[in-house]
Structure 1
Amino acid sequence: MVLGLVALLALLNTHLISKRHEIRRVREELISRTIQHELVRQQSFTDPLTEIYNRHSLEDVAGRFISHARRLKKPLTLMLIDVDRFKEVNTRFGHLTGDVVLADTAALLKNSVRGSDAVFRYGGDEFLVILADTSSADADNVVERIRSSLLEWNRAGHLAGLELSLSIGVSEWSDGKTLDELLDSADRHMYTAKADRKVGKAKSIGV
């Protein structure tokens, strides 16, 4: 009788241990799948060259920024940035150097903003920055940080005989303005800045 009970308890213990191992295995598999899913999601939202947000992610990320600004009645500013004479960079120095310029520009922009802001590769040689809780007037401080960092980059002589410059268009969100309207406004200001640079004006930002 006693031996039978001991055997039964041993069998139950073995069963419980087996179940615990099975539960642990299932839990680890679920965690692994969740991590892989998140990595895939992040990769789909990330530009592989510059390691910043890609254009595909813009609607989702910008939507969250706009919702935050609307809910808390906070300012929000968008900056559209174009690398001037990028075709000339590719022609004179090659596409590998062009890739380095794009990656360095992305890093420069990220280092010029806060962790609460967002930086995107918007097109081939265009970048976009969303500045949370920031008016267009306050965005001037960000522009100055970008200019200062770009000056240091040029002083390092990365492009022999050619200084890199950026044209920047700024647009401030107001309640009721759509993302497309915000982008159109920033785009117009950016091309105004580019035109000003071509005619020798010291202006690189339009507000």
Structure 2
Amino acid sequence: MENSGKSESILARISGQLAAIEKRDWELWMIVVGTGILTGVALVALLFPAAILHQGVVRLDIEISRELFAGLVALLVLFNTYVISRRMQLRRMREAVISTAVQNELIRLQSFMDPLTEVYNRRSLDDMAGRYIARAHRQQKPLTFMVVDADDFKDINTRFGHLTGDFVLAEIAALLRGAVRGSDSVVRSGGDEFLIIMADAPLEGGQIVRTRIAKSLEDWNRGGHLTDFQLSLSMGLAEWSPGMTLDQVMTEADKEMYAIKAEHKRP
């Protein structure tokens, strides 16, 4: 989900800048039309006295000096050059406004992304979760949170090294992304902890996603990525209800996650 408030602000700013450019474009066309009208009036004023009606045919008897003709041609060329250059300038201004806006938005989005796992980072959590909660409250739709924690992750770093640990984190993020919909969000909320926010999903929907992740994890372990080590994840679910804060729903999900983690540690 995009940050609707900031997106609306960005769109409003871009619209304002483009509107100012369109105004200049409109003013340019008014100059062109006005110049055309004045030129037409001048030609009529110049040619009318020289017009002779003879047997139903209008004939013009006019002489134009070479200097005047050259001046008119030069004026026409200069005017067209001005119009073309202004049009090109306005086009470049439009492109610059759009390009700058796109680049700024990419930079903003990158600041909310975790470069290792390519999911949202902790910095984005409060704002993003707040928007999900506001939307669920406004539309009276269900909203489920899932806390995911890698079991014995320190053992992975100790036995296989930190590079392998980073690889495992990236793989976990990929498994989580593959199990959710486009309307959901995956956040790396801590070192080896992730959060999934599932829009329009009751607790039962979260359980389906949890089962899907567990199946993908089984397939991943069969791939033999870690010698003599089975990666496991503890996943706790909590459904948001009206009046709950982010901390409260996270606490509920954490409780279930830690209970499952305790079960995983039993021999």
TM-score tier (shorter): over 0.9
Q: C-alpha deviations, 1:145-173, integer Å up to 9, x for none? A: 00100000000000010000000111100
The 3-state SS of whatever aligns with 2:213 is helix
Q: CA deviation at 1:2?
A: 3.6
Unaligned runs of 5+ in 1: 201-207
Who is 1:191 aligned against?
258
The 3-state SS of whatever aligns with 1:124 is coil
Q: C-alpha deviations, 1:9-58, integer Å up to 9, x for none? A: 11111111111121122222222211210111011110000001001111
Who is 1:144 aligned against?
211
Who is 2:121 aligned against?
54
Partners in 1 of 2:224 and 2:266 — Cα distance? 25
Partners in 1 of 2:207 and 2:96 — Cα distance? 49
Letter in 2 for 1:46: M
The 3-state SS of whatever aligns with 1:127 is strand
The 3-state SS of whatever aligns with 1:101 is helix
The 3-state SS of whatever aligns with 1:53 is coil
RMSD: 1.1
Partners in 1 of 2:73 and 2:135 — Cα distance? 63
User: Structure 1 residue aligned with 2:81, among 14, 31, 46?
Assistant: 14
Q: CA deviation at 1:120?
A: 0.6
The number of residue pairs the alignment matches comes to 200
Who is 2:39 aligned against?
none
Letter in 2 for 1:59: D
Answer yes or no: is 1:89 the counterpart of 2:185. Answer: no
Unaligned runs of 5+ in 2: 1-67
User: Structure 1 residue aligned with 2:184, among 89, 100, 117?
Assistant: 117
Letter in 2 for 1:133: D
Who is 1:161 aligned against?
228
The 3-state SS of whatever aligns with 1:169 is strand
Question: If you compute each CA radius of gyration, which structure gives the higher value, 1 or 2?
Answer: 2
Q: C-alpha deviations, 1:115-150, integer Å up to 9, x for none? A: 111001110000000011111122111111001000
TM-score, normalized by length of structure 1?
0.93
The 3-state SS of whatever aligns with 1:78 is strand
Letter in 2 for 1:53: Y
Partners in 1 of 2:122 and 2:190 — Cα distance? 7
Partners in 2 of 1:72 and 1:27 — Cα distance? 37
Letter in 2 for 1:26: M
Partners in 2 of 1:73 and 1:115 — Cα distance? 20
Who is 1:26 aligned against?
93
Answer yes or no: is 1:179 the counterpart of 2:256. Answer: no
Relative contact order, higher structure (CA 8 A, sep 6+)? 1
Deviates more, 1:115-124 or 1:20-29: 20-29
Letter in 2 for 1:13: N
User: Structure 2 residue aligned with 1:80, among 136, 147, 152?
Assistant: 147
Partners in 1 of 2:198 and 2:106 — Cα distance? 25
Letter in 2 for 1:63: G
